[in-house]
Amino acid sequence: MIIAVVVIIAAGGVSFAVLGGTSSPNGAAQHSQAPLGSYIFASPADGFQARFPEPPLAENIPESIGPIRLLRNGAETQNPMTVAVKESILTPLTADSGQQILQAALTDYATQNRMTNVSQLVTTYHGLAARSATYKTASGGSASALVFFNSAVSFYFIEAPSGTIFNQLMTSLQLLP
C-alpha cells in the first residue's frame, strides 16, 4: 500500500477535533465549514490541521512501502482528491534512508492512484527535509504532492489538484504543538 492523506497516529488511538469545535469523545473525525467553502480538519493528537475543499473522511490505515511498515492517520476527500496524512514509521530505519523513503512515498502514491510521475524535487518545508512531486492524473489533469519528515519516526504527506486547491492545502497545513 502507499502513502496518501496527511495523517498522524498516536499510540493510544486517534483523536480528532475541528477548529472551533470540540474533541469527539469516541475519537470520530469532526469537521467544520470554513470561509470560502472549505473545511478545516484538525487532529491535535496527531499534531496537525489542514483545510479541505469538502468534508474530509478520517482514516487510520496500516500500510507499507517495500519492507517499511507504516501507520497512516489523516483525512481525505474524493472530489477533488485531496489528502493530508501523517505516516508513523514502524520499521527501524538507517540514518541515510530519509530521501529514499520520501521518494518512494511519492512514487508509490502515484502508482497506486494511476498517476504518472512528471517530476520530483528535493526541497524543504519550513526548514524540514522534504520532496515535492507533480503528477499527471488518469483524466489528464495535474496534481501536486509534498512529503516531509517532522521527526525520525514520522512524516507528513499532502496531495491535491495542482493550483489553488493544493496551494490552499499547503498553506493551511499547520503542525500543532
Identify whether 87 is part of a domain.
Answer: yes
According to the model, what pLDDT value does residue 45 have? Answer: 75
Identify whether 75 is part of a domain.
Answer: yes
Amino acid at 108: D
User: Number of C-alpha atoms within 13 angstroms, CB side, residue 37?
Assistant: 3
pLDDT tens, position by position, 61-89: 999 888 889 999 999 999 899 999 999 99
Closest CA to 44 of 18, 5, 13, 83: 18
According to the model, what pLDDT value does residue 153 have? Answer: 87
Name the CA dihedral angle for 90, 94, 97, 98, rounded to a multiple of 10 degrees: 60
- N-term to C-term CA, the chain: 29
What cell does 149 get?
Answer: 519528515
The reported pTM is: 0.76
Contact status, residue 93 vs residue 79, Cβ threshold 8 Å: no
Identify whether 15 is part of a domain.
Answer: no
Identify whether 21 is part of a domain.
Answer: no
Identify whether 16 is part of a domain.
Answer: no
CB atoms within 10 A of CB 26: 6
The structural domain count of the chain equals: 1
C-alpha 73/C-alpha 87 separation (Å) is 7
The CATH number of whichever domain residue 93 belongs to comes to: 3.40.1000
According to the model, what pLDDT value does residue 6 have? Answer: 34
According to the model, what pLDDT value does residue 97 have? Answer: 83
Identify whether 79 is part of a domain.
Answer: yes
Per-residue pLDDT of the chain (177 residues; tens, 9 = 90+): 222 233 322 222 222 222 222 233 333 333 344 444 579 899 887 789 999 999 999 988 999 888 889 999 999 999 899 999 999 999 887 767 888 889 999 999 999 999 999 999 999 999 998 999 999 999 999 999 999 998 888 899 999 999 999 999 999 999 987
Identify whether 17 is part of a domain.
Answer: no
According to the model, what pLDDT value does residue 47 have? Answer: 85
Domain hosting 66: range is 32-175
Identify whether 145 is part of a domain.
Answer: yes
